[in-house]
Amino acid sequence: MDTTKNDAVDAPTTSTEDLNVTVLGTGLMGGGIARTLAAAGFAVTAWNRTPAHAEPLRAYGVSVEPNLAAALADADVVLVVVYDAASVMDVLERGIGAAPAGAVWVQMATIGVEESRDVARFAETKGAHLVETLMMGSKDQAENGALTLMAGGNPALFDQADPVLQAISVKIVHCGESVGSGSVVKLACNLWLACITSAACQSVELLKGEGVDPQLFLDVISGMTTDSPYAHLKGGKAITGDFSAQFEVNALLKDLGLVGEVMARRGFRTDLLDRQKALYDEVRAQGHGHDDVSAVALAFASPRDTPGLS
């Protein structure tokens, strides 16, 4: 089921003032989500493994709590926005006992399909209520409540979390009633994201190499059936050379590795995936792991256009 804010659905009966939200992880995505929820009127508490990284959120009305147990003590909804499966398991193992029994845990990190199922089984053994909502969107969408969420898990648990999820998203796609279903959809989407980014950046660099204005590529596809807002976003960054991170190369490579795990389990051919991994690995090796995925343009740049090369 695909739920957008424009759908004619009943509004949630729970007001923002009635829900305490704890955000675990305040990186590019978690920090933006915490700010969005605070602006929407929720009581938001943020925790980060490195407390100093969460401190700037205080200026946006977010309560920053360096102690994990204290951060979870009054939570109605817990958003887990950490980096990988090990981090998710760490906060669950240390935090489940500190949260109220009725809290709904929303796992939002891209951690893989089997890993998501492991997390769900662990939560169940501890009597915790856990669902997943994987995210499509980057830092800007997180800060503006414009994420697309891929949900998996018990539909009944989403009722309590719904006001929170609606506040941070423009669309919620329900992928299945088991945790893991949203994860596999997210991985498929991130493979597409990798491909469209590298394709747009290669087209930009081709025109640069021929001495032609690369903006013409984006002008031509604009409004066509082949158009994509993401091509304009990442192609635009390739044109300007602004690789400030919205979605880091390191994070995409982590996700592509998870795609590979699914493919290997299914015996699925990996030639397209392998080529994408090689391209992003190349720019990471050049020192761009923490830059935006549009830095893949550097894999296609001619030597005279690439900083540090001759």
Element (H, E) at 126: none
pLDDT at 34 over 90: yes
Which fold does the domain 2-178 belong to in CATH?
Rossmann fold (3.40.50)
The overall average pLDDT reported for the chain is 92
Query: What is the per-residue pLDDT for 3?
Result: 58
Tell me the per-residue pLDDT of 77-102, one tens digit each, with 9 for 90 and over: 999 999 899 999 999 999 999 999 99
Tell me the per-residue pLDDT of 274-290, one tens digit each, with 9 for 90 and over: 999 999 999 999 999 99
Confidence of residue 18 (pLDDT cuts 50, 70, 90): confident
Q: Where are the domains of the chain?
A: 2-178, 184-299
CB 160, CB 76: distance < 8 Å: yes
Q: Which of 139, 186, 208, 237 is catalytic?
A: 186
Query: What is the per-residue pLDDT for 229?
Result: 93
Query: What is the per-residue pLDDT for 267?
Result: 95
Structure tokens at 151: 């949900």
Q: Any catalytic annotation for residue 186?
A: yes
Helix (H, G, I), strand (E, B) or coil at 76: coil
| Alpha helices per DSSP H over the chain | 28-39, 68-72, 85-95, 113-125, 139-143, 155-168, 181-209, 215-221, 229-240, 249-266, 271-283
Q: Are strands 129-136 and 147-152 parallel, antiparallel or unpaired?
A: antiparallel
Tell me the per-residue pLDDT of 258-275, one tens digit each, with 9 for 90 and over: 999 999 999 999 999 999
Class of domain 184-299: mainly alpha
Tell me the per-residue pLDDT of 153-179, one tens digit each, with 9 for 90 and over: 999 999 999 999 999 999 999 999 999
19: alpha, beta or left? (left if phi > 0; alpha if psi -120 to 50): beta
